[in-house]
Amino acid sequence: MRLHFRRIFYMICLVLACICITSTIYITLFSKKSRRFRVVPEYMREVNHAKKSLVIANQEPLYWDLTSETNKLVEKLKAINLTNDKEYKMDFGPDDLTQAFQKNYNLNIFKSDKIPLNRDVPDSRPRGCASLVYPDDLPTTSVVIPFHNEWPSVIIRTVYSLINRTPEKLLKQIILVDDASDVEILRTHLKNYFEENFPKNLVLLIRLDTRQGLIRARLEGLKYVTSQVVSFFDSHMEVNYDWLQPLLYEIVKNKQTIAMGQLDYVHRETLDYNFYPGYRTRYGFRWDMQFFETYFRPDQLKGKKDSDPMPGVLMVGPGFTVDVDYFKSIGEYDGDMMIWGGENIELAWRVWMCGGQLLHVACSHIGHIERSQPYSFPKGRRLTEMHNYKRAVEVWLGDYKIYVYNLFPGMKALDVGDLSERIAIKSRLKCQDFSWFMKNVWPELMPYKENSSIWGQISTQDGHLCLDNNDYVFSDPVLLMVKPCTRNLQTQGFALGTDGQLRATIHCVVVKVVGEDLIPHIQNCFLSQVDFWTYSKEHQLIHQRYNLCLEILKNSILVMRSCNEGIFSQKWFFKPEGLLEQNN
């Protein structure tokens, strides 16, 4: 009898527990206050849209029948010789399919399909960001995301991250612009997925009939924006916690601001979300329009906290936020640029030179999949980039364009269409010239002929070897080298400034102790030591502090030695002839 009552008691407890769990699930999923999705898939959990979203990542993979699509792509790519292509060999999925898809998509789509669509990510913000409080009346934003043949699970994960980690009242709409994708799954399954799982007014999918490229696709998406602010994103991103509020706050303080989050890196093979605590960089560029990460100058960091916004030099292309009216008033993007490339440089020049500012906002972090090249170029990448660069250079660089043309054979003769509209914008906005930009925004870039006592290639006496920066772009010191003289201004252009600094394109020549020797290096001119040089009548480069001369050894190693006017290995000759005349 006692056993019978005990069983009845357990059954009653079990029934009550089931009722409680069922009620909790019903309230969570169907409460009007918390509901965000019209239909919640079985592998998706509802998200709490508190200030800091509490994301419960699903454990089930995205599943579609991809057999036919896989077979089509394998047929399309079967002619590619992947045997020795180690760069694309990966550990996930069948080797032949994995390599074929990786070659086409530049990321591991098998891994992408296996991991949760709405996965959680580590909070990568600096200390102090989570405790910041922002005004309640921040403007809303629309997010414009162009894509061309992007893999579906990558796009959907981008969308879910925006919804999961953006306050509901601030996210007006997500506008996806399909730039004439020819992968069938993107034209059927993706459309159905968004229609079934998201309200129509939240996620808008626009299809372009002909390929336009990233620049024009973003402009097309801009036409549908109904919010005060717009964010432009790549289609392979995952936002971090409270990514939007810090960007909006900077725009509220100064409408003429383009606000950019700090990029974290999502590995293209493993899809791991990576970040480095305290890591802060900006992007610089050289005369060849190559852009790269570099440190902030000490004068910029003085008195700043890790969570403070910092001025940038170039746009972060994968994602930025801007006031819609301001963006339109300064000319949006140049719609006559093609596909991708150069638009981030041109827009940065225009913003700074016409009274605006670019800000790297440390409390906004955005994950971006690293890919070797996410875009295809119908007319070829080099021709496309040269077209875009010339449109930017002709409008904004003035006499400094000679440095760019020197590095791009044929660019000067290239027909890039009418520029009168873009030049009129510069005139209407009363913009500064490029010398102002170099002085106030990017002083690291050297205009060889200005403020120089002598400039050109620096060759040995026989004229066979020249000082060379080895095409180095980063800030940390690296050995100064000699290579055969090539008349390449980018790698072999040097100038001795009137201040005594010996500069390469974006570096200064300094001397460092290596073992028992003093060895010449190049490094960022603004980060640490400053060295000064003298060029003597005897063609010697003399380090002023050590009173030693630059000498080349028989093995082509450069060292500092006691000055001796009688030895040829200490003779150096500046040769500017031909460096700026060719191709012009």
**Per-residue pLDDT at 62 exceeds 60:** no
Query: What pLDDT score was predicted for residue 88?
Result: 29
d(CA 440, CA 333): 23
Query: What pLDDT score was predicted for residue 363?
Result: 96
- Quickly count: other Cβ atoms within 10 Å of residue 222's Cβ: 19
d(CA 213, CA 335): 10
* pTM of the predicted protein model: 0.81
d(CA 119, CA 584): 53
**Per-residue pLDDT at 528 exceeds 80:** no
Q: Which sequence spans correspond to the domains of the chain?
A: 67-78+90-114, 452-575
For the four alpha carbons of 202, 203, 209 and 214, in that order, the dihedral sign comes to positive
In sequence order, what are the beta bridge partners of 447? none
For the four alpha carbons of 490, 491, 496 and 502, in that order, the dihedral sign comes to positive
Confidence of residue 329 (pLDDT cuts 50, 70, 90): very high
Note whether 114 and 360 are within 8 A (CB). Answer: no
d(CA 354, CA 337): 20
Give the pLDDT confidence of 354-402 residue by residue, as tens digits: 999 999 999 999 999 987 555 566 566 777 888 899 999 999 999 999 9
**Per-residue pLDDT at 503 exceeds 50:** yes
Give the pLDDT confidence of 196-237 residue by residue, as tens digits: 888 878 999 999 999 898 899 999 999 999 999 999 999 999
CA torsion angle 436 442 448 451 (round to 10)? 60
Q: Considering the chain, what percentage of its residues have pLDDT values greater than 70?
A: 79
The b-or-e profile of 86-109 (16+ CB within 10 A means b, else e) is: eebebebbeeebbbbbbebbbbbb
Query: What kind of fold does domain 452-575 have according to CATH?
Result: Trefoil (Acidic Fibroblast Growth Factor, subunit A) (2.80.10)
For 302, list phi and psi in degrees, rounded to 5.
-60, 125
Give the pLDDT confidence of 80-90 residue by residue, as tens digits: 333 333 332 33
Query: What pLDDT score was predicted for residue 44?
Result: 29
CA geometry: angle 382, 385, 391, nearest 5 deg: 140
For the four alpha carbons of 157, 159, 162 and 163, in that order, the dihedral sign comes to negative
pLDDT (mean) for 559-566: 95
Token digits of residue 116 = 């949760």
Closest CA to 152 of 196, 194, 180: 194
Token digits of residue 293 = 């990460």
State which amino acid sits at residue 474. Answer: F
In sequence order, what are the beta bridge partners of 321? 231, 259
d(CA 144, CA 296): 29
